[in-house]
Amino acid sequence: MNTAGTAQATGGLKTLVIAEKPSVALDIVRALTPVTGKFDKHDDHYENDQYVVTSAVGHLVEITAPEAYDVKRGKWSFAHLPVIPPHFELKPIDKTKSRLNAVVKLARRKDVGTLVNACDAGREGELIFRLIEQYAGGTDKAGQPKPLGKPVKRLWLQSMTPQAIREGFEQLRSDEQMRPLADAARSRSEADWLVGINGTRAMTAFNSRDGGFFLTTVGRVQTPTLAIVVEREEQIRAFRPRDFWEVHATFAVQAGTYPGRWFDPAFLKPQGDAADPERKPERLWSEAEARAIAQAVRGQPASVSEESKPTTQACGLLYDLTSLQREANSRFGFSAKTTLALAQSLYEKHKALTYPRTDSRALPEDYLGTVRHTLQALAGSPLAHLAPHAQVALDQGYVRPTKRVFDNAKVSDHFAIIPTPQVPHGLSEAEQKLYDLVVRRFIAVFYPAAEFLVTTRITQVAVEGAVHHFKTEGKVLVKLGWMAVYGKEAAADVEGARPGDKGQSLVPVQPGEPVRTEAARVDAKQTRPPARYNEATLLAAMEGAGKMVDDEELRSAMADKGLGTPATRAAIIEGLIAEKYLLRDGRELIPTAKAFQLMTLLRGLGVEELSKPELTGEWEHKLSLMERGQLSREAFMREIAAMTERIVRKAKEYDRDTVPGDYATLTAPCPQCGGVVKENYRRYACTGPGGAGPGCGFSLPKSPGGRVFELDEVETLLRTHRIGPLEGFRSKAGWPFSAELTIAPDTSGQWKLEFDFGDDRPTEDGALADLSGREPLGPCPKCGAPVVEHGSHYVCSRAVPTVEQPTPSCDFKSATTILQQPIAPEQMAKLLATGKTDWLEGFVSNRTRRPFKAALVWDAEAGRVGFAFEPREGARSPARRTAPRASAARRAAPKR
């Protein structure tokens, strides 16, 4: 390995190698040590006579607009839009600032002559390094970046074996070779900023025209993802169930009986856009016809023909992050965010898995030796449920260089997630589950395919010139193959199937044997709406979003991309939940009224491209052209600027009274005149007794205090004239608050909406609260300041704007009523003094509507008030919960 060349070319100066992660920096040091000499370890780098090796921890800096263009949230109005700065500045990411300073200090060292970009091989790794290099160069007096002035080389690795790393250093790529990829990386980052910032501020400004601050976030990835869920919910709402019938028969032969289901052999699958997807060969749309068939075949003789075919089923591919998140969500109910956190812990803390943020499901072709070494470690491990299977794979020589597993063409920035030779100990239950999932797949992927015998039996019953056909399918497992690694878990689909399923075992029928229709029944059924998305199915939809794109060129550009990356998809889903666009109900993800309102707005303003995956497809197509040198960065950014200006202009110039959309007619009458209340974009308004006139003038805003009403909430409010307390409101000063809402006539007899939160009113109006004279209940568990009763909450005296402290510095807050249970001041005092209230019996679950008994406790780790439940018999201590019964926990201590 010619490593001296770099040092000679720079006059004896050292080469600084910047990796993306500390673990990769250590791998590089270990690979270089045999050929360049021992490295000394320092706090933030490794160093020998030729190399200084350090690392980032992902992104260390982020792009931002120059200060003159950085419009603060309180000034989000059309007057300041669009924001298209002439250039972008960089700012450190707060939590990694010390790491950035360390890397920059090394880059500026006078004895460092060359930089090597050893960040991950791909667009994002290129961006991480380029931004660090730019930040290290600093800026001139005009704020423009200055070059650092040191030559740059690129280490491009697909494999992390020591030999692959050494070979990579012998074939470093030049800065010029990497320039197109760097341009594409910067362009994608800046374009996301421009569209996200301007789109969010334009939609927020539009929705805040009537006063208040109604944050409406949009983004190139988050909004199309939300659109997928909203469109599915629209299908569910529009779905009307239809009745259909099936005929099931039982046939008797010498060896016993077997089931069969009637079907139409002449059935043709519906074609075209107008085709009815509910039509299937086994469905009958007339009950009379179904009963006639059942009556006709009962007790009648039948003839049988059958066909048996051998078939095989291979094990699933190795996991990438998205497929691992989907599997963990389906099997264990883990959220995508939880799975990523567990995988990251197994990678970083336990060194038990390889890098998890990958979109590849294959391994490099030079990884056979590494795989065998890992299998040997697993075979010799104390993992009794897995070790024998690893040993079998080694003894039988199952590890072979198949393209299904080892394929450089299918390895992108990273390879598939597999276990390392370091078998972990002391894992949490959740970590162990995820680790086992990865290890089973890693072992099983090398095993032979499972073998089945699939039998299709057609039973024909001829009655008075008509022939009725019944189908029976059976699937018999002949050889376990890879299923041996999973045991009963995998074979259950075949061996544990119920009668009528594909997996059933069939009694034999001899050639020419008489068959009799022993029984026949009619099953009445209904068509079902499409299922709501859960995290597993939404991750799949994001990954396959390119299939939804009509344009073939754009679809091709998205073939391996989808919406977001494996590393960002979990954060996108969590962001949609945090922004109150989605609710997590069990495993289902349900779009809120705010989500429907955003889609209505984008459609109405004519900027639907923000909600379509085509935008990502178009960008990916153009960025791939840029990476090949066929499109300039300047031309792409000009197009992005033009698109940004058009989005802002469309929102700014919209002058109709309402945005067109599919709006609801409420069942609750107008409280003022008894007329029909209808929804429009901004309000729920009375339209008179017939529902078609101007009405009596009564109306409700759809988003008071920046929080969008759900339809059932409006119905409740109109019927009972009161609802709450509800969370998620924001004052004009931007402070979050909770309140009840009421409707009542004012002095002129006009019914109006009011916030009912007692002493909270001054805070809602943006004025300062007066807490003088309030009796302190105890010290705040967060900051020690006095806690007092304030309106509908117990609050830290530093958590509301007061004369003494206009800007709140604490966020402790707990409602005076939680899940219909009043919390008396003496109970709050007891909580503050001891950390726990008495057992209270009046809580009512939001989900089940059932009462339950619990105590409120202060959970210091979560930083909020939560529940404790009485121990059941045999239990050692009460369960403590802050996240389950999430609505109550949030109401007890809302996060800021």
Residues designated catalytic:
355
Contact 661, 603 (CB under 8 A): yes
**What is the Cα–Cα distance from 841 to 825, expressed in whole angstroms?**
17
Pairing outcome for strands 40-41 and 46-47: antiparallel
Which residues does 856 contact at the CB level (< 8 Å), separation at least 6? 814, 818, 823, 827, 831, 836, 837, 840, 865, 866, 867, 868, 892
Per the structure block, which two tokens stand in for 594? 């705010």
**What is the Cα–Cα distance from 159 to 415, expressed in whole angstroms?**
8
Amino acid found at 220: R
DSSP for 264-279, written as a single string = -TT-----STT--TT-
Displacement of CA 445 from its chain's centroid (Å)? 27
Q: How far is CA 716 from CA 44, 596, 686, 742, in A?
A: 60, 20, 16, 11
DSSP for 525-541, written as a single string = EE--PPPPPBHHHHHHH
Task: Spell out the alpha helix ranges (H) of 408-482.
Answer: 429-444
**Ramachandran angles phi, psi of 628, nearest 5°:** -95, 5
Letter string b/e over residues 808-838, b meaning 16 or more CB atoms within 10 A of that residue's CB: bebbbbbbbebbebebeeebbbbbbeeebbe
Sign for the CA dihedral angle at 266, 270, 275, 281 comes to positive
**What is the Cα–Cα distance from 55 to 61, expressed in whole angstroms?**
14
Pairing outcome for strands 851-859 and 722-730: unpaired
User: How many helices (DSSP H) and strands (DSSP E) are in the chain?
Assistant: 25, 33
- Intra-chain end-to-end CA distance of the chain, in Å: 55
DSSP letter assigned to residue 503: T
Q: How far is CA 187 from CA 136, 564, 618, 725, in A?
A: 20, 16, 13, 46
Q: Taking each helix axis as running N to C, give the angle between helix 222-238 and helix 535-543, from 0 to 180 degrees, rounded to the nearest 10.
A: 120
Neighbours of 669 (CB within 10 A): 15
Q: Taking each helix axis as running N to C, give the angle between helix 593-605 and helix 222-238, from 0 to 180 degrees, rounded to the nearest 10.
A: 110
Q: Helix/strand/coil (H, E, C) string of 56-74?
A: CCCCCEEEECCHHHCCCHH
Contact 854, 867 (CB under 8 A): yes
Question: 3-class SS at 571?
Answer: helix
Q: Of 221, 228, 199, 230, which is closest to residue 616 (Cα–Cα)?
A: 221
Which residues does 196 contact at the CB level (< 8 Å), separation at least 6? 217, 218, 219, 220
Question: 3-class SS at 604?
Answer: helix
Q: Of 230, 228, 248, which is closest to residue 238 (Cα–Cα)?
A: 230
Question: 3-class SS at 126?
Answer: helix
Strand order in the sheet with 851-859: 840-844, 851-859, 864-868, 880-881
Question: 3-class SS at 141?
Answer: coil
